[in-house]
Every structure is written in structure tokens, then in C-alpha cells.
Structure 1
Amino acid sequence: MLFKKGELKELWPFYLYYLIFGLSSLIMPFMIIYFRDLNFSFLQIAIIISGFSIGQFLFEVPTGAFADGLSRKVSVIIGFLMNAFAILLFPLFDSPYALFALWTFSGIGMSFISGAEEAWVVDNLHKAKKKELQQEYFIKAASIAAFGAIFAPLLGALFVKSHPIKWLWLIFGAGFLINAIILSVFAKELYKPKRVSFLKSLKETFKNGAKGIKFTFSHKVILLLVLGGAFAIFMEFASDGWQPLLVNLSMPKYGLGIMFSVVAAVSMVVPFLSRLLLRFKIKNVIAITILLNMILLFSLIFLSPPMFMVAAIIFVFNNGIWYLNNPLLQSYLHKFIPTKIRATVISTKSMFNKLVIILGSLAAGVLMDYFGPQKVIAFGGFFGIFAIWCYLKIKD
């Protein structure tokens, strides 16, 4: 049976929003190509997209504390509406300054979602005495989004054959708007923080934020998970170069859509395989998969045109490993976080990751303009050594 008893009753609005997110993401396979077609350098693209991470970094902890102190549901809906507004404006501008501002606004909106969405679902399940569905949620949410994303790239590939890429932003923005409506109308919030006045809630926000940050960096297991995740992100610091790399290796632009569809199909199935790995120590599973990822990335250095198919296979496996590890790490992390500061701790972790992404993407932009994407993507695998060390230091 695909869904367990009571699972859809508690989680169907969240599963639906992941499906819509996947279906609306037609722009994803072509986003970097879109910016390259606007004659932006890799560094310019990195600066523009870094606005998203900067917005998240600056607002992750305050918005996470807002969710913990006021409402996770309200926080998530605000985030979806902000993203819808920003993304719907993307095709109207080709100025790097305007695009940077929109990406930053979108990042601020995402900071309202990132910690609050996970905390909302997890605490709903705890309140409903359905803790056993937590692992199911992390597995199936990613798979459902991937199921939608199987079709989106194919539709995007058909679209870009005869239409400008920029109009795909409108479909993506509409997806956020629809999800805001679905969650506001149909999703319940079973765990609700105590209502307080504005001044008191503002004080509580900073208090919760300080608690969350202190807890994150004083709890050894969580700190190692955060650091390990950060180094794993650094392995992909040149990910913006994948689309140009594949085109440089002779892949036609519409082929990007087909490849992303394959990635989505693999990503839909792989999270379910994580169930089979629960019998092993999580840290060992993650370390082995990161080592495999390192080998795949290093092998890119030996490719030349027209070997785009080999690079595409590496790209698919690279993404599949992330989808395998993510539900394992998410569920493992939540075991150590108290309910009252859950959203704040997750937001602190996300904030730290965003700082890594900002620094990494800017460095990658400079390096890719000088060395090209192929070498920079390949040698990013070296950061996996530090990620493996962090995970193996965890004492279960």
C-alpha cells in the first residue's frame, strides 16, 4: 500500500503542494542558459542568484523565530505569496540590478517557508500522535515533487523550441500562488504558539532566535550535521555551470529538458530506497554516498565533445544521491530538536547553508569565467573529504 493509515488525512495538502511545485518548475532546466542568453558572465549570474541566498541568510533566523512564536502556517503562506510576486516579475526585467533585487526578495520569502514548513508538518504529526508518519513524509514529499518534475522539463523542452524561455517564469510563479491558496484553505495547524502582543512577540522572536542559534552550535551532533551538510553543499558550489557544460559538450538546449525529466524520475524513486538503508548507521551511509559522488565529479575532467551523454549520466546520479541522503538526514536531525525551537534551529541550519552557497557561488563564478565550468565542477568534489570527516565524527 502506497500510503499508510491516516497518512493522506494528515498530509494531503502538503503532498499536493509538492506536486504542484514539481509540475510548475518548467524553467529549471533552462534557467542558467536563460541568463547566459542575456549575455551575463558566470560571475554576474552568481551575483544575481546569490541575492536569493543573501535574502534567506539575513532573514532565516528572524522568520524561523516568527514561525515558532506566532504561526508556522502564516509564515509559510507569506513566503509563498512573496515568491509568487517576485517570480511573476522576472520576465519583465533584463537588468542585473533588478534581477538581483527580485532574487533577494524571493530569498526573503523562502526564509518564511524553509524552517516553518518542516516544523509545521512535524509538529502536526506529533500533535495528532502520528509520529511514525514523519519519515514517510520526508520520503514521499521529495518523490511527489519529483513526479511532477518528470513532466515539467518535457513540457519546457517543447515550449523553448518555439517560444522565449522567459515566459516559463510565469508558470513557475503561478505555482507558488496556487500553493499559497491550497495551504491557506485546506492545511490545518494543530500546534499553535501562544498568542502575544506585537512588542512581546518581537521580543520573543529575538529570544527564540538566540535560543535556536545557541542550541545549534552547542549540540555536538547537530553542529556536525550542519558542518557536514555545508561541506556537501560546497561539493556542488559550481552547480550553475552544469547547463553550460552540457551544452559545451554538444547537448542541444531542448535536451536539457529531457535530461531534467530523467533526473526527476530517478529522484521520485530513490527516496523510497532510503527505507532499505535505515537498518545501517546513517553516518556511514552518508559517508559512502558522498565518496561515490566525489568519484563521479572527478571523472568529469576526462570528458570532451560530444560526450554529453556521459556527463548527463553523472548529473543524474549526482542528483539521485542527494535525494537518497536528504530524507535520512532530515528525519535524523529532527530527533535532537525540541518542539518549541524546531523552526528556529532548522532556519539556523538553512541560514548557515545559505552563507556557504553565497561564498561558494561567487567563488565559482570567478573560477568558471577563468577555467570554464568543467574543471571547477570536477574539483568541487574535494570538499567531500571534509563532509565525510564531519559525518564520521558523529557518535550515535
Structure 2
Amino acid sequence: MTTPRSVQRTYLVLMLGNTLAASLIWGINTIFLLDAGLSNFEAFAANAAFTAGMVLFEIPTGIIADTVGRRASYLLGTVTLAVSTLAYVGLWQVHGPFWAWLAASVLIGLGFTFFSGAVEAWLVDALDSVGYEGTLDSVFGRGQLVSGAGMLVGSVAGGWVAQHTSVGVPYLLRAGVLAVMFGFAAVAMRDLGFTPERHGSTGQEIARLARQTVDLGWKVPPIRWLMVQAIATGGVGIYAFYALQPYLLQLYGDPHAYQVAGLVAAAVAVAQMAGGMAAGQVRRLARRRTSAMIVITVVAAAAMVAIGTVDSFGAVLGLTGLWGLTFAAFTPVRQSYLNGLIPSKQRATLLSADSLMSSAGGVWAQPVLGRVADVRGYAASYVVSAAITAVAVPLIALSRRENAPADSYEPTGAPAGAPSPDQSSG
């Protein structure tokens, strides 16, 4: 018998495995690209190509999740990501041309789009179907905690393996973990509380769900402002994380201390675990989710200013933990708010659309900030990153102004995912 506990357990294993696979290379990815002969601009342009791939494929893969199934989407993601990761290793071995790195990065982006939206939608609908009576904030918080643990293990292990072998071996390990997760998901995942629907040809289905994305997403004011916020600031976190690898090595004074680079991801991982444990406390400190999001954003911007102005390895490492804590605290609050605004049948598509907006932010922000790092240094790029992050505050405030029921931590009587009457247009 499937129970709320078993659904959550499957979700947590998926989160652990996904994060472990991904984080094996997080601590050394920028160093890996630079070792392959790319410049800072080219390395972050490759990362931008990854996010461009997510922009291109978020909606199509979200539609696959809503019309074929969330389990099928997850399985396709593991295969695509494993193959494209192996392509990265091949390019590194031969110092492949820049255009090939861009193409491989787009394929990695495709792999991740099969996950984004699908796993979260699977969880929410499955919990609804088995009568879960708790809050989504607590479940997403536990997901953050487990992901943090996976990130801690993966990042430290990836840095250690790179230090004692080469920067290419963690990528091979990632492909192996993805193969294991394919087997687990094939057995453990079932699409509960959700029946795929098709109303015509693939082209007609894409057009229909695209219209629903606009009608049920962009035209709903509180969702629209969250999407704009994602476009404006979504790429900053990706840049800030990956730029810390060479920046900390620069402060440390040894460009080949890969285990030190792994400390970046480890510090963020510990912060993510702390943020997951604090998810339940956030709702006690704020009456509204948007209030919590605004405060967290201000602290994140301040932490990045400090990272860019303090010239000390130890201090920057500590500030990295603070910045990571803000990200970990922000994510489950935003997830719960957004899921409370959208209907079940289009959940994966709308969540993918939101992820698309964040990826679009990465397309423009990463090469811009990478260029700032080339011209003015990493420290200056963090000050610019802080300024971009601050743009989120007025955008979240605009979403808050709509007084959506999902913004309140207190029960409102409105069913989850149902917009209030004054949110139906705009």
C-alpha cells in the first residue's frame, strides 16, 4: 500500500541521488573547463549554453511529463544526462573546439529539463492522492536537507577524486550514479494522482499546453511577477556558485588545490542542510511567504557584497556558507508559494515554465558576469551579482500585492492550486 511516508521516502531518494550525481562535478566544473583550454568568458558561455538548453527544452519536456508521465520524463532525464556527461569527458580529453562544448552543454541542459518540474509535480500529486495532511513546506525542507547531504558527500568526494586522479574522473562517476538512479526510478516511481491526457497530435498538444501556460501562468499576476523575478535574478546563483571555485583558489594561492575548490560546494551543502532544517521555523517567523522571501533576498545580496569586498580566504569561505543558507531557505518557501498557485493537471508544465524563466536569466547573466570577471576580477563580479539580486525585492513585493491565498502560512479554505477570483486575469 502506498502511503504519504512511502511517497516522501521515494522523493527523498530521488533528490539524494540526483544531487549526488550532479554535485560530483560541482566543486571542479569551472576548473575542468579552464583545464580544457577555455577562457573565463568561454567557460561561463558554455554554462550559459547549458541554461540556454534548459530554455529551449523546458516547455517541451514539461509537456512530456504532463502528457506521457512524470516517471517517463525522469527516466529520459537520467539517460540524456549520462550520455551528455560522457561527451564532456571526451571533449576534455581532446581539448575539443568551443562550438562542441556549446553543443554538449545544450544537451546537458536538455537532460536536466526532464527532471525540472516533473519530480516536484510527481511529489505534489502523489501526496494529494494518498491523503497527505501536512504542509508542503516541511516536505520541501526535508528535500533540501537530503539534497544538502548529497551535495556535501558528492562535492567533497569529487574534489578528493579529482585531486588524486584527474578532473575528468568525477564526470565518469556521475554517469555511474545516474545509471543507478535509472534503475531505482524504474522500480519505485508510479504516477499517482495524475492521469496523462492528450487531446490531439503532438503539435496540437504543445500549442494547447503553451496556451495554458500563458493563461494559468503568465496571466496570473502573482505567478507572473515570480517568473519575472526568475528571469532577472535566476542566473546569478549559478554564476556565483561556479565562480567561487577559481576565486577561492586564487585567494588560497594554489590553482591546483582541487580539494579546496570542493570546499565551496561543501560549504553550500552544509548551508543547504541547515536551510532545510530551518524550513519549519521560517513559517513561525513570518505570516506570509513573500515576507520571508524578501528578507532572505536582502541577506543574500548583502552576503555577495561582502564576498566581493573581503580579501580573505577564510572569511569568503564563511560568507559562502551564509549565502548558501539564504538560497536553501528561499527555495522551499518559493516552491510552496508557487505550487499553491497552480492547478494539478498543468503542474509540471507550469513548473517547467518557471524553471525556463530562471534558465533564461542564466543565459544573459553568466556571460555578462564572466566578462566582468575577465575585465575587473572575480571580486567585482560579486558586487555586480549583489546588485542584480536586489532587483528581486520589488518583484516579489509586486507578487505579494496580489494577496494570493497561497502567500499565507495560515489555512485560507481555498484549495491548493486554485487561483482566487481576482487572480484570473491581468
Q: What TM-score does the superposition give when structure 2 sets the normalisation length?
A: 0.86
Quickly say closer, same or farther: Cα 1:195–1:222, change in 2 above 3 A.
closer
| Structure 2 match to 1:326 | 331
Q: What's the CA shift for 1:195?
A: 5.4
The residue identity in structure 1 corresponding to 2:148 is A
Indicate yes or no: 2:35 matched with 1:22: no
Written as runs of structure 1 = structure 2, the 5 A alignment for 1:271-310 is: 271-279=276-284, 280=286, 281-304=288-311, 307-310=312-315
- Cα deviations across residues 144-170 of structure 1 (Å, max 9, x unaligned)? 121122222332233223211111101
Quickly say closer, same or farther: Cα 1:194–1:172, change in 2 above 3 A.
closer
Further displaced range: 225-234 or 45-54: 225-234
| Structure 2 match to 1:311 | 316
Distance 1:59 1:148 in 2: 26
Quickly say closer, same or farther: Cα 1:131–1:183, change in 2 above 3 A.
farther
- Cα deviations across residues 112-166 of structure 1 (Å, max 9, x unaligned)? 2212111111111112221525333211112112112222233223322321111
| Structure 1 match to 2:184 | 182
Quickly say closer, same or farther: Cα 1:277–1:195, change in 2 above 3 A.
closer
Report if aligned partners of 2:235, 2:358 keep a CA contact under 8 Å in 1: no
The residue identity in structure 2 corresponding to 1:205 is I
- Cα deviations across residues 292-334 of structure 1 (Å, max 9, x unaligned)? 1222211233333xx1111111111111110011001101111
Report if aligned partners of 2:141, 2:278 keep a CA contact under 8 Å in 1: no
Report if aligned partners of 1:78, 1:109 keep a CA contact under 8 Å in 2: yes
| Structure 2 match to 1:158 | 160
- Cα deviations across residues 325-369 of structure 1 (Å, max 9, x unaligned)? 100110111111011111111111111111110011121222221
Report if aligned partners of 1:7, 1:133 keep a CA contact under 8 Å in 2: no
| Structure 1 match to 2:130 | 128
Partner of 1:339: helix, strand, or coil? coil
Partner of 1:327: helix, strand, or coil? helix
Distance 1:21 1:118 in 2: 13
The one of 376, 379, 387 aligned to 1:374: 379
The residue identity in structure 2 corresponding to 1:283 is T
Report if aligned partners of 1:70, 1:192 keep a CA contact under 8 Å in 2: no
- Cα deviations across residues 12-65 of structure 1 (Å, max 9, x unaligned)? 222112222333332211110111122311111122122211111111112212
Percent sequence identity is 19
Report if aligned partners of 2:231, 2:360 keep a CA contact under 8 Å in 1: no
Quickly say closer, same or farther: Cα 1:263–1:238, change in 2 above 3 A.
closer
Query: Which structure would you say has the larger RCO, counting Cα contacts within 8 Å and 6 or more residues apart?
Result: 1
Quickly say closer, same or farther: Cα 1:224–1:73, change in 2 above 3 A.
same
Distance 1:259 1:64 in 2: 32
Partner of 2:119: helix, strand, or coil? helix
Corresponding pairs, count: 389
Distance 2:306 2:137 in 1: 34
The one of 55, 59, 63 aligned to 1:61: 59
The one of 372, 383, 387 aligned to 2:392: 387
Question: Which stretches of structure 1, 4 residues or longer, exceed 6 Å deviation after superposition?
Answer: none
Report if aligned partners of 1:14, 1:183 keep a CA contact under 8 Å in 2: no
The residue identity in structure 2 corresponding to 1:126 is D
Distance 2:174 2:134 in 1: 33
Distance 1:222 1:387 in 2: 14
Written as runs of structure 1 = structure 2, the 5 A alignment for 1:67-86 is: 67-86=65-84
Greater share of helix: 1
Q: What TM-score does the superposition give when structure 1 sets the normalisation length?
A: 0.92
| Structure 2 match to 1:249 | 251
Indicate yes or no: 2:56 matched with 1:46: no
Further displaced range: 175-184 or 234-243: 234-243
Further displaced range: 208-217 or 223-232: 223-232
The residue identity in structure 2 corresponding to 1:85 is V
Indicate yes or no: 2:341 matched with 1:339: no
Q: What's the CA shift for 1:229?
A: 3.3
Q: What's the CA shift for 1:215?
A: 2.2
Quickly say closer, same or farther: Cα 1:74–1:143, change in 2 above 3 A.
same
Indicate yes or no: 2:230 matched with 1:229: yes
Distance 1:149 1:40 in 2: 26
Distance 1:139 1:318 in 2: 17
Report if aligned partners of 1:216, 1:222 keep a CA contact under 8 Å in 2: yes
| Structure 1 match to 2:413 | none
Report if aligned partners of 1:237, 1:364 keep a CA contact under 8 Å in 2: no
Q: Which runs of 5+ in 2 are unaligned?
A: 404-426
Further displaced range: 215-224 or 185-194: 185-194
| Structure 2 match to 1:117 | 119
- Cα deviations across residues 174-219 of structure 1 (Å, max 9, x unaligned)? 222221221111111113434558x534422320122113322110
Report if aligned partners of 1:75, 1:116 keep a CA contact under 8 Å in 2: yes
Indicate yes or no: 2:12 matched with 1:10: no
Report if aligned partners of 2:300, 2:327 keep a CA contact under 8 Å in 1: no
Quickly say closer, same or farther: Cα 1:236–1:260, change in 2 above 3 A.
closer
Further displaced range: 227-236 or 254-263: 227-236
Distance 2:235 2:151 in 1: 25
Distance 1:230 1:268 in 2: 26
RMSD (CA atoms): 2.1
| Structure 1 match to 2:416 | none
Q: Which runs of 5+ in 1 are unaligned?
A: none
| Structure 1 match to 2:218 | 217
Distance 1:23 1:336 in 2: 30
Quickly say closer, same or farther: Cα 1:67–1:23, change in 2 above 3 A.
closer
Quickly say closer, same or farther: Cα 1:145–1:284, change in 2 above 3 A.
same
Report if aligned partners of 1:243, 1:256 keep a CA contact under 8 Å in 2: yes
The residue identity in structure 2 corresponding to 1:227 is V
Quickly say closer, same or farther: Cα 1:12–1:351, change in 2 above 3 A.
same
Distance 1:44 1:354 in 2: 18
